[in-house]
Amino acid sequence: MCGIFGYLGNIDKMLAQDCLDKLIHRGPDASGLWHQKNITLGHRRLSILDLSELGTQPMSYMDGRYWITFNGEIYNFIEIRNRLKGKGYIFKSDSDTEVILAAYCEWGEKCLDLFNGMWAFAIWDNKEQKLFISRDRFGKKPLFYIKSKNGIAFASEMKALLPLMDCVEPNTDLINNKRKMFLYESTDECLIKSIKRFPAGSYAVVDSYNFEIKRWWCTLDNLIDVPKKYSGQVEAFRELFFDACRIRMRSDVPLGTALSGGLDSSSIISAMAHIKSDSKESRINNDWQHAFVASFPDTPLDETHFANEVTNHLGIKSKIINVDPLSFINNMDRFLYLFEDIYITSPIPFMMVYNNIKSSGISVSIDGHGADELFGGYTFDFIYALNDAGINLPKANMILSAFNNSFPKQSSQFSKLEPKLKLWLKWHVKNVLGRNNRYSDLYHEDFNHENWRKLDSLNKQLYISTHMGILPTLLRNYDRYSMANSVEIRMPFMDHRIVSFAFSLPWSSKIRNGFSKSIVRDAMAPILPPSIAYRKSKIGFNSPFVDWIKGPLKEYFIDIINSNSFKTSNIINSIVVADLINKVISDENATFSMGENAWASIMPYLWEQAFIKPAL
């Protein structure tokens, strides 16, 4: 897990080093720069597998024919290495990086099909004078590139490309379109014009003349036959999930978990406990019992008691992180510079959690991201299951029960929101049922796939959330939150085998008996406290923005909206944004959605101040 930089063409070595140094937070343990006349590869290392110098990068193979710079982890590298050893390959290190090189040497681009992991890497072939670039199936690891008359540059983050650009121009059309906030991450569009995002599930073979990107993964091409009976589906999922967790526990450094007390993160740490008690594999780290819990005292988002139920059940301790926004507010510019994108909520609690994880000596966190999008965890997706239920009233009532019980009753902020959401549901029942998805004007090539037409309404919506909407955005966010603090996140739910399994299931295996994510609940119930496995209400890990803006951050935001730079900003409508902030401050009935809208409106200005102004 690292930061990478590369340049195909001629570049000054000191300039290349400057670009690479922008990524030091992603790899504080070592730095490497391989600089030749027409190719430069750079690497910042976060040491996870093979902590010796044998694991450093850029790494060469076959007497210097191949060179690689690699960000990510290949979790099944042991199995692939054993297969390659059977073909006569010899390995000098215990790293997954060397396995990638040998696999590419043996199978070319077909090696990607064998990899179970997350990655963005580039391999230079000295003989053919070509560069092979690849990104993992779902874009868990970022990769950006720019083209110029002098060459092609790529990097893990946009900031590493800024020193190469004559003009750093914000993409205001994208920034000012709130609807696109959850959509642009799955495209090549970026907040900086001229910078492109390398697409997930794709590769390119690049030389001086060609840069042709080819897609090598489509989930719809990889659907599978699942057991017809629900009980068989539960058993099959449990087996897949345990194996996905097992291979992600392979590490030469201690492991931790960001635990919320919700179903997903609780399933992760409980599976880790189950696996470690039953496994003797040497590469699974014994030091895994580190649960980090974000606490928001005196706010509706505080769920530490649920997290404590899980750790008490497992007989381990948890570290409670009291998220005090004032303690980190002076670092906001630094956070937003490292984050380098815009989003609907503050990065403070997320940055604080992974900062605490790192300061506790942990560099790998195994987390629960992806389950909501794959298995139907979001309330607003339930509407599409109603379309699948049709005139079957018992099934429709079961779905409505799951909807009605998903709100935290103890929160005035959310209880005020509940009637509005019920009105929203009625409107959608009347106006939306029968459509493919709530993004009715969204087009994607997968909509022409024969297997797309076979998906039910809920799975179509979840497919969009997973591949084009919410999930790509969240994967980006958590990469930034964690890597800003030199922490790697591993995500068992995002194992490609589980993703293929999820979209091969019918909607009724996901919303069942009044519960969302039913198959996950039923599969994990034997190792979870019942109060966690079958808990319906869940807010999600977020910022209590209304509480903060009315309380500890009130002065901070008042100062901003009264500043001259804010009032004269060309990137926002300062009058409208100031009004949104003031309404949250003054309205006693301010809702969570009002807080999110206020933050989303002011964030482009904060982003401009933190990310753009220093680059000009």
Cα angle 310, 247, 488; round to 5: 75
Q: How far apart are CA 406 and CA 397, in angstroms?
A: 14
Say if residue 93 is in the same domain as residue 144. yes
Say if residue 293 is in the same domain as residue 320. yes
Say if residue 109 is in the same domain as residue 249. no
Residues 494-513: tens digit of each pLDDT: 999 999 999 999 999 999 98
Pairing verdict, β 364-366 and 488-490: parallel
Look up the pTM and report it.
Answer: 0.93
Domain containing 555 equals 545-615
Q: How far apart are CA 407 and CA 501, in angstroms?
A: 28
Query: Cα–Cα distances in Å, from 229 out to 225, 233, 508, 607?
Result: 12, 6, 11, 50
Neighbour count for residue 320 (Cβ, 10 Å)? 15
Residues 65-101: tens digit of each pLDDT: 999 999 999 999 999 999 999 999 999 999 999 999 9
Residues 526-575: tens digit of each pLDDT: 999 999 999 877 666 667 788 889 999 999 999 999 999 999 999 999 99
Where is mean pLDDT largest: 305-309, 505-509, 543-547, 589-593?
A: 505-509
Q: Which of 200, 217, 234 is the last residue of a domain?
A: 217
In a domain, 261, yes or no: yes
Secondary structure class of 335 (helix, strand, coil): helix
In a domain, 423, yes or no: yes
Say if residue 131 is in the same domain as residue 275. no
Longest CA–CA separation in the chain, Å: 72
Say if residue 131 is in the same domain as residue 178. yes
Question: In the predicted model, is pLDDT for residue 415 greater than 60?
Answer: no
In a domain, 539, yes or no: no
Classify residue 569 as exposed, middle or buried by CB count within 10 Å of its CB (0-12, 13-18, 19+): middle
Q: What is the DSSP letter of 126?
A: T
CATH label of the domain that carries residue 162: 3.60.20.10
Q: What is the pLDDT of residue 615?
A: 72
Say if residue 123 is in the same domain as residue 247. no
Question: In the predicted model, is pLDDT for residue 441 greater than 70?
Answer: no
Band (pLDDT 50/70/90 cuts) for residue 210 is: confident
Say if residue 497 is in the same domain as residue 448. no
Band (pLDDT 50/70/90 cuts) for residue 389 is: confident
Say if residue 448 is in the same domain as residue 502. no
In a domain, 134, yes or no: yes
In a domain, 540, yes or no: no
* C-beta separation of 267 from 237 below 8 A: no
Q: Which of 197, 217, 237 is the last residue of a domain?
A: 217
- For the record, the structure tokens of 86 come out as 């059977």
Residues 127-165: tens digit of each pLDDT: 999 999 999 999 999 999 999 878 999 999 999 999 999
In a domain, 465, yes or no: no
- What's the average model confidence in pLDDT over 370-391? 88
Q: Which of 217, 248, 278 is the last residue of a domain?
A: 217
| Main-chain phi, psi angles of 3, to 5 degrees | -120, 135
In a domain, 538, yes or no: no
**How many structural domains compose the chain?**
4
